[in-house]
Chain A
Amino acid sequence: MQRFSAFALVKHALSGHQRWQPQWRDATPKPAYDAVIVGGGGHGLGAAYYLAKEHGLRNIAVLEKGWIGGGNTGRNTTIIRSNYLFDESAALYDHALKLWEGLSQDINYNVMFSQRGVLMLAHNVHDEQSFKRHIHANRLNGVDNEWLTPAQAKEFCPPLNISGNMRHPVLGAALQRRAGTARHDAVAWGYARAADALGVDIIQNCEVTAIHRDAFGHVTGVATSRGEIATRKIGVSAAGNSSVVMGMAGLRMPLESFPLQALVSEPIKPIFPCVVMSNTIHAYMSQSDKGELVIGAGTDAYTSYTQRGALHISAHTLEAICELFPDFRRMRMLRNWGGIVDVTPDRSPIIAKTPVPGLYVNCGWGTGGFKATPGAAHLFAWTIARDEPHTINAPFNLERFARGMLIDEAAAAAVAH
């Protein structure tokens, strides 16, 4: 792997930048691997990277039915935070946040991680009480979170409207300063490049069509659109299509897949210094380094695999954005799109072994999987390599639904994730 550095940049400048190597090989599938990851998004590529780096498995393939990072990794609004209410969630998401803080150095790829702060707005008494409870719970768990008055929130984010005559006035805000954003494509590319350098085969345009098992039920391989591949360990990291892939092994999942939309405006000069989220009137926004305002809308009411959502969902969000930030009322939107998110009943993910020996799953991230990418990948690799969960992901198992041990962030987070 050609390492990226200021020196390399100068050196390649002398040859007109003609001698950069491709960042990863275009691998063709081998007949057998020690482990196969299904799904080439950030979570799957990261899992392959950590399997190779920390667990010594080098004979690994990542199978992606489209192109890497073309699913939810390239479709989300890039928000990273860890201010979750419950102990299990705080441990999981803060594990990810700590990995984010060193990720660019770790994989020698600038993922443009920016800890610009995430501001969550309170619009009514319930919000205020709930957010203050979150702040106290977070601080007990060593996760930074603080309460801002409307004036302090306005100082932190000048475009914010805090006038008292709004339909849903801003009564205050919770601020996590360590939270922020990262460049989503760079996360997929960086993990792909780093995994490839450790010998991982990244195989695109390769759709898994069946999972094979032996007489004892143990997995023996997968059938793909590019031929048969034998393996004794399969890690499924297929986001919205998790139910479909797990169904190939005869498993029914506690998942439903919904379209979630996002949209970006025309690019403008830097005006928006942080991330603002409002669960109550359902809008969240940040500004990318290209200058576009990146806006997250809601999910459609019904399950779907279409990767597009209804217009009234994004229109509803834009109404909220116009009220919160009147400066942006005359901005034009450039693009909108949808991704398919797999949602669990308690809105917490599943990173676990399954009843099928040799089959592991990382799914159920719903509307908030990007923020957890390094943490989920790290813990998923641990679970696959050791055939047992890490203490952090042990509560996020499949059996919690039968045992009633839900981690009910749905009740805790209300809407946005």
Chain B
Amino acid sequence: MLLITCPFCGPRPELEFGYAGEAHVVRAQDPRDVSDSQWTEYLYQRSNVRGVHAERWRHAHGCAQFFNALRDTTTDHFVATYRIGESRPDAAVEAGR
């Protein structure tokens, strides 16, 4: 079981969290402007990174907040967690290497 650091509550066991898929997948502001291929990209295509992956988690059995995390999918090591709205802390990735 993973130990995940909630940006609001600190380190907690994985069972308290829900996984919510890839982070920074942005929904179009005006759906009328969006082509079929752009909808496909938004709805279905995923980067499925082998390496450092940006993803959403929710501390469902805690503060109930969504937050983002960078996790290495080859080791399951969490590089960083950060709040929704903050940009991807790639400096943490470099520091973790």
Contacts and interface: CB of A to CB of B under 8 A. Distances in A.
A401 B38 CA distance: 11
A310 B53 CA distance: 19
Contact of A301 (B19, B37, B74, B75): B19
Nearest to A345: B44
A345 B43 contact: yes
Contacts of B1: 310-312
Contacts of A401: 40, 43-45
A330 interface: no
Interface in B27-68: 36-37, 39-41, 43-48, 50, 53, 55
Contacts of A257: 48, 50, 73
Nearest to B17: A301
Nearest to B71: A302
A253 B46 CA distance: 6
Tier of interface size on chain A: 20 to 34
Contacts of A403: 36
A256 interface: yes
| Candidate in A255, A257, A302, A310 with the most chain B CB atoms within 10 angstroms | A302
Interface in B7-26: 14-15, 18-19, 21-22
Tier of interface size on chain B: 20 to 34
Contacts of B90: none
A274 B21 CA distance: 37
B92 interface: no
A341 to B, nearest CB: 12
Given A312-B15, A401-B40, A402-B40, A254 B75 contact: no
A304 B78 CA distance: 12
Contacts of A253: 45-46, 48
A103 to B, nearest CB: 32
Given A252-B41, A310-B1, A401-B40, A304 B48 contact: no
A278 interface: no
A305 interface: yes
9 contacts: A254-B40, A302-B76, A303-B73, A305-B73, A306-B75, A310-B1, A311-B1, A312-B1, A402-B37
Interface of A: 241, 243-244, 252-257, 301-306, 310-312, 342, 345, 401-403
Sorted nearest first, the 3 A-B pairs with minimum C-beta distance are A243-B48, A301-B19, A254-B44
